[in-house]
A = this chain, B = another copy of it.
Amino acid sequence: MKVLVIGAAGMVGRKLCERLAKDGRLAGRAIASLDMVDVVAPTAPAGVGFAVTTAAVDIADPATAPKLAAARPDVIFHLAAIVSGEAEQNFDKGYAINLDGARWLYEAVRQEHLRSGGAWRPRLVFTSSIAVFGAPFASTIADDFFHQPLTSYGTQKAIGELLLSDYTRKGFVDGVAIRLPTICVRPGKPNAAASGFFSNIIREPLAGHEAVLPVEDSVMHWHASPRAAVGFLLRAAEIDGEAIGPRRALTMPGVGVTVAEQIEALRRVAGERVVARIRRQPDAAIMKIVAGWPTRFEAKRATALGFKAEASFDEIIRAHIEDELGGRIA
A residues in contact (CB < 8 Å) with B: 91, 134, 144-150, 152, 155, 158-159, 162-163, 165-166, 169-170, 246-247
Contact = CB atoms under 8 A, between A and B. Distances in A.
A159 B162 CA distance: 7
Contact of A144 (B91, B146, B158, B159): B146
A216 B129 CA distance: 42
Contacts of A149: 162, 165-166
B146 A246 contact: no
Contacts of A166: 149, 152, 155
A299 to B, nearest CB: 14
State the copy count for this chain.
2
A146 B155 CA distance: 14
A45 to B, nearest CB: 37
Contacts of A146: 144-147
Contact of A162 (B144, B158, B169, B170): B158
Given A159-B159, A159-B162, A163-B155, A246 B147 contact: no
A223 to B, nearest CB: 23
B144 A170 contact: no
A247 B148 contact: yes
B152 A170 contact: yes
Nearest to A161: B148
A163 B169 contact: no
B155 A165 contact: yes
A285 to B, nearest CB: 18
A226 B142 CA distance: 36
Contacts of A169: 150
Given A91-B170, A134-B246, A170-B91, A159 B148 contact: no
Nearest to A166: B155
A166 B84 CA distance: 14
Nearest to A164: B155
A52 to B, nearest CB: 35
A150 B246 contact: yes
A71 to B, nearest CB: 24
B162 A155 contact: yes
A159 B156 CA distance: 9
Contacts of A155: 162-163, 165-166
A146 B142 CA distance: 10
Contacts of A165: 148-149, 155
Nearest to A170: B91
B152 A159 contact: no
A162 to B, nearest CB: 5
